[in-house]
Amino acid sequence: MALKIIRSGTLIGAGGTVKADLLIDGEKIAATGHALDVPDVEIIDASGKLVMPGGVDPHTHFDLPMFDTVSSDDHYTGHKAAAFGGTTTVLDFVPLDYPSMREAIDAWHAKADLNAAIDFGFHMNITRLDDQVQSEIPRLVDEGITTLKVFMAYNNRLRLQDGEILKVMRIGAEHGMLTMLHAENGDVIEVLTAETLAAGYTEPIWHAYSRQAWGAVESVLRGIALAEQATSSLYIVHVNTAGGLDQIDYGRARGLPVMGETCPQYLFFTEEHLRRPDGAKWVCSPPLRTADDNDALWLGLENGGLQALGTDHCAFFFDGTRAIEYEGEWIAIPGKELGVDDFSKIPNGLPGVGDRLPILWSYGVGEGRITPNQFVALTSTNPAKIFGLYPRKGALLPGSDADIVIWDPDRPLKYGVAHAHHRTDYNLYEGWELVGFPEKVFLRGHLIVDGEEWLGQRGMGRFLKRKPGAEAI
């Protein structure tokens, strides 16, 4: 692969901004500096543009079975959408829906390895706990899987009891692994859902009403208390309430290694969207909350109370009875219409992996809520550090992978499903006016997105084996 210089761009990192050239040698960043002079090099003019590390999305779900269907983006279509939005690394979750972890991991590699279009890693869901599972957890480190996800919700499917979560945390901590927590109160959800359906309430808004915010707030605190007793670091996924953020602040103020992630949907939408005729589009778990919660989570991004912005990308069709065209073929996958008469049967999940960077740039940086450096920290550098990928990912440093986004900060764009590239029939941000968008995206030095042109290919993404002992930030 020829040498390349990205010339005269403004390099944006989590720690600072500098106008400089960037030299790519093969798949790595070789140097940054002023007026780099290298013979026989391809010059890429980035004058007037920003140069940033490719995004790292720590929370995605591809090709995930749910209810009577499967999420509509697989490890190719979802990766392609991510790339168009400036994300070059994603972390997916391996379900423990197999007799052993070995079989679960092999099954997920079979789904991902030949389809991956960007680089990827795995988290491991721990949704049952017996002697076999406890013995298998330490072996995950050899597989390059150093993160364990546990649930306090989804009774009889995914949930562990508190004592079991404590045991998982202890094993993980002993081996330098990070525990991730879905914090909702499964017992209360079961009661409220049954009562709601028995009373004949079936509309999407009741998805939120049956998953009360207080259940999330107390679950976050309970998870932090368990982590402290297990001497474990803890990462709370998809924080959606002001109260949940308060609990994270409480733990961090006491020196506990607890971190929080939120997602774009919890910054921009509220439970009132579930009242719309197309409210099923906004059904996700945990659910959308209130404008006050939106404001509190924005403040958490601004002041460092939250450490990362993921997406929890898990796309479904809004109307899976009608086919859409994707790469010249027509496809329809059952989706949210499955719950037209029962909110509890609506597949839980939203598209978002391609939206994250453009939306946060326009409405975060563009409106002065966060700086460009915070933008890079939240969407790339911090996730890379937390999940053991830094400085290979999330940095514009010599030796880092040449995962690079050339960003046009002045490009106006009316956003929507046509630009998002998810394999689904809607976009949450349809018609939103953006200023700023990726112009070119490189994966390990390979140009994979050039304007509206897709140059990537199925199978070029690599699995990232991560090392234990990543820092809590």
Reported as a single tens digit per residue, the pLDDT across 124-134 is: 999 999 999 99
- Span 381-400, pLDDT tens digits: 999 999 999 999 999 999 99
pLDDT in tens, 67-82: 999 999 999 999 999 9
| CA pair distance 203, 64, nearest whole angstrom | 24
pLDDT tens digits along 308-339: 999 999 999 999 999 999 999 999 999 999 99
Percent of the chain residues past pLDDT 70, beyond the cut: 100
pLDDT in tens, 169-202: 999 999 999 999 999 999 999 999 999 999 999 9
What tens digit of pLDDT does each residue of 436-467 get? Answer: 999 999 999 999 999 999 999 999 999 999 99
Closest CA to 353 of 123, 62, 2, 38: 62
Q: Are 178 and 470 in contact (CB under 8 A)?
A: yes
- Residues 436, 154: Cα–Cα separation, whole Å: 39
Would you say 84 and 438 are in contact if contact means Cβ atoms under 8 Å apart? Answer: yes
Q: In terms of Cα–Cα distance, which of 42, 59, 28 is closest to 313?
A: 59
- pTM to 2 decimals? 0.98
CA 332, chain centre distance (Å): 25
Band the pLDDT of 34: cuts 50, 70, 90.
Answer: very high
Q: Which residues contact 439 (CB under 8 A, 6 or more apart)?
A: 49, 406, 407, 408, 411, 451
Average pLDDT, the chain: 97
Which domains are delineated in the chain? 1-473 (3.20.20.140)
d(CA 225, CA 181): 12
What is the predicted pLDDT for the residue at 2?
Answer: 83
Cβ partners under 8 Å of residue 21, min gap 6 = 5, 6, 7, 8, 9, 32, 33, 34, 35, 36
Confidence at 1, pLDDT banded by 50, 70, 90: low
Predicted pLDDT of residue 217: 98
The mean pLDDT of 211-218, rounded to a whole number, is: 97
Map the chain to HEC letters.
CCCEEEEEEEEECCCCEEEEEEEEECCEEEEEECCCCCCCCEEEECCCCEEEECEEEEEECCCCEECCEECCCCCCHHHHHHHHCCEEEEEEEECCCCCCHHHHHHHHHHHHCCCCCCEEEEEEECCCCCHHHHHHHHHHHHHCCCEEEEECCCCCCCCCCHHHHHHHHHHHHHCCCEEEEECCCHHHHHHHHHHHHHCCCCCCHHHHHCCCHHHHHHHHHHHHHHHHHHCCCEEECCCCCHHHHHHHHHHHHCCCCEEEEECCHHHHCCHHHHHCCCHHHHCCCCCCCCHHHHHHHHHHHHHCCCCEECCCECCCCCCCCCCEEECCEEECCCCHHHHCCCHHHCCCCECCCCCHHHHHHHHHHCCCCCCHHHHHHHHHHHHHHHCCCCCCCCCCCCCCECCEEEEEEEEEEECCHHHHCCCCCCCCCCCCEEEEEEEEEEECCEEEEECCEECCCCCCCCECCCCCCCCCC
Cα(445)–Cα(261) distance, integer angstroms: 29
Rounded (10°) CA dihedral 107, 108, 112, 114: -20
Structure tokens given for 453: 């042109």
